[in-house]
Structure 1
Amino acid sequence: MSLGTGGAIRANEIRQHYFHFAGHGPRILIVPGIVSPAILWSDVGSWLAKDHDCFVLDVRGRGLSESGAHLDYGIDSCAKDVAAFIRGMQLGPTVVIGHSMGARIALRMAAYDPEFVRSLVLVDPPTSGPGRRAYPVPIARTLGLLRAAHRGQGAEALRTSTAAPWPENLQRLRAEWLSTCDERAVYAAYEDFHSQDMFADLAKTRLPVSLICAGEGGVVSEADVEEMRQLRPDMLTVRLEGAGHQMQAEDFAGFIRVLGEVLIRQFQSEERSRS
């Protein structure tokens, strides 16, 4: 596994850290989930670099990006971070892949600041919101893992967790890097999961959008998919059966297979629209 080349810039008035997996081809930016520092996406970044130029962002309050009580961890600030990062790095039109919380951030950014976004790939976005069912991953479980990592007991907590196990190399990285996540950022994300409406953002988005759903875990139901299709009939949808919410770690081979198919179909669609 290549860890890529790390770097940081000041964008949207904060330090934003990233890993770059240099390659030739369309630019891709990955925005990870609620307690997933960028380093945990190194396997995916290395694979994408075969045909793409890939960046993975540490969302504020995670990894080596800026954190602290002075920061607003709400979705609007995070979305502005992503837009400012793309502009600051001069990436040009970029395919943005968002996982979980990162999908909601990417969707909010694309709805209101789409200038440099080529297309979106939403990976198992939480569909909770006002008047909707709750996000199925309880905050107590997330906070329990995070607090254990802050005590230096992350590896033990992950071994006894009820969540699906990760490969050993990623599990070690996860235990080490969980402690970089700010608990305040977790509370803000869960609050936004239930107070913000991702379907309204999807309705505003005019960019090409694709959806990859986990087969297990119940984050995106078939009813959710149907509602999204009503808003965006052109949305490409794939469900990875047998994999849970952290499908990029639980079933890496399956995940890169469906992600590769989605990207190829997106680019083919762009070619047809230009011809």
Structure 2
Amino acid sequence: MTHPAVIDRRTAHIAWRHHGNTGASPALLLLHGFTDSATCWDPVVPALAGLGGTGGTGGIVATDARGHGGSGLPEGPVGPRQHAADQALVLDDLGVTEPVVVVGHSMGALTAVTLAATRPELVAALVLEDPPPHGMGGRPRGVPAWLTELRALDLAGRVAYAREHDPAWSEAELPPWALSKERIDPRYCERDVPLLDPLHDLAPDVRCDTLLLYGDADRGGMVTDADADAFREAAGGTVTTVRVPGAGHNVRRDTADAYLREVRAFLDAVRSRRPR
């Protein structure tokens, strides 16, 4: 499989990568989870490149969230509203001519929902991978102990850790995941996070077609069947929910083939409903 060309760019404090054709609006916008970075999408970008048929023809954009990867950390709180404003900044800078499919994991999925609610003209459809369902926010909690322990290891040690603890992940997933843990700004964890409503309370503000993918709670998944049902019912018919057996919180890494199959089927269905 041919890997699309990659151009690294920056808009204000946000670093981002453009995969493929940079001469037109991107088809997909990829938003990573907490402590990950844009490069964590690299292993799956070639497979996703052909799935963005609801958007433009300009390839795929993956951003580093503020305080992550190569992005800066402006003063003030952090959270989905701030992250969504950052994504809108990038898309506005690109001058998008067609709405994009926004694909998010965990923290990035909450950002995607918020972007769709606040800037609906930018979003054609959503693919949400196990977002935190019960809201978030409040006083800062500091750097998590698990992240401190990982950052104390060298890169090879973090790769070995991931290989041992997540044996279902492909080898291609391990280096970018391990590298991202040393590229998050620890000050991010000290910032206030404005209170955020539960996922199902956000659903009525989302008008586009949405796919919610989640795993098993006993494998670390955050979304339960009840959470998924509540989100779908609150959205009023625009949400498709799929529990992926064998997956945990990292659906695309734990069960890559199933993840891509569900995303492909969803985007094909969305595309078939669009006026020609």
TM-score by length of 1: 0.81
Q: Distance in 2 between matches of 1:149 and 1:122?
A: 31
Pairwise CA distance, 1:260: 0.9
Contact 1:240 1:258 in 2 (8 A): no
CA contact (8 A) 1:73 1:184 kept: no
What residue in structure 1 maps to residue 56 of structure 2?
A: none
- 1:166-211 CA distance string (max 9 Å, x none): 322321232223211122334559x56xx31133322222222221
Q: Secondary structure at the match of 1:60?
A: coil
Local SS of the residue matching 1:30:
strand
Q: Does 1:16 align with 2:10?
A: no
Residues 107 and 120, structure 1, Cα contact 8 Å, conserved in 2: yes
Amino acid at match of 1:175: A
* Matching residue's letter, 1:88: D
Asked whether 1:208 is paired with 2:209, we answer yes
Q: What amino acid sits opposite 1:122 in the alignment?
A: L
Query: What one-letter code is carried by the residue in structure 2 that aligns with 1:180?
Result: R
Say which SS state the counterpart of residue 180 (structure 1) adopts. coil
Paired position in structure 2 for 1:105: 111
Specify whether residues 250 and 151 from structure 1 end up closer, same or farther in structure 2 by C-alpha distance, changes over 3 A only. closer
Q: Alignment identity in percent?
A: 27
Separation of aligned partners in 1, 2:25 and 2:136 = 40
* Residue identity matched to 1:228: F
Q: 1:248 aligns with which of 247, 252, 257?
A: 252
The ranges of structure 1 where at least 4 consecutive aligned residues each deviate by more than 3 angstroms after the TM superposition are 1-4, 21-26, 149-153, 155-161, 186-189
* Counterpart code for 1:32: H
Distance (Å, rounded) in 1 between the aligned partners of 2:136 and 2:83: 20
**Would the aligned equivalents of 1:3 and 1:19 in 2 still touch at CA under 8 Å?**
no
Q: 1:225 maps to what in 2?
A: 228
Q: CA deviation at 1:262?
A: 1.5
SS of 2:182's partner is helix
> Where does structure 2 lack aligned partners over 5 or more consecutive residues?
53-58, 138-142
Which residue number corresponds to residue 62 of structure 2? 56
Task: Provide the aligned C-alpha RMSD in A.
Answer: 3.0
User: What is the CA-CA distance between 1:19 and the residue it aligns to?
Assistant: 3.7
User: 1:140 — aligned with what?
Assistant: 145
- Larger displacement relative to structure 2 (118-127 or 207-216): 207-216
Aligned-partner SS, 2:16: strand
Are residue 27 (structure 1) and residue 27 (structure 2) matched? yes
Q: Is the 8 A contact 1:100 1:123 kept in 2?
A: yes
| Ranges in structure 1 where 5+ consecutive residues have no aligned partner | 132-137
1:107-137 CA-partner distances (Å, limit 9, x unpaired): 1121112221111111111112279xxxxxx
Q: 1:124 aligns with which of 124, 130, 135?
A: 130
The 8 Å contact of residues 219 and 245 in structure 1, kept in 2 or not, is answered as yes
Aligned pairs for 1:174-189 within 5 A: 174-186=177-189, 188=191
Equivalent-residue separation in structure 1 for 2:129 and 2:163 (angstroms): 25
The structural deviation recorded for 1:98 is 1.0
**In 2: Cα distance, 1:168 partner to 1:151 partner:** 14
2:79 to 61, 74, 95: 74
CA contact (8 A) 2:14 2:63 kept: no
Match of 1:170 among 170, 173, 183: 173
How high is the TM-score relative to the length of structure 2? 0.81
Change (3 A) 1:156 1:254: same
The count of aligned residue pairs is 258
Shift of 1:82: 0.8
Match of 1:126, SS?
coil
C-alpha deviation, 1:60, in angstroms? 1.4
Distance 2:220 2:184 in 1: 23
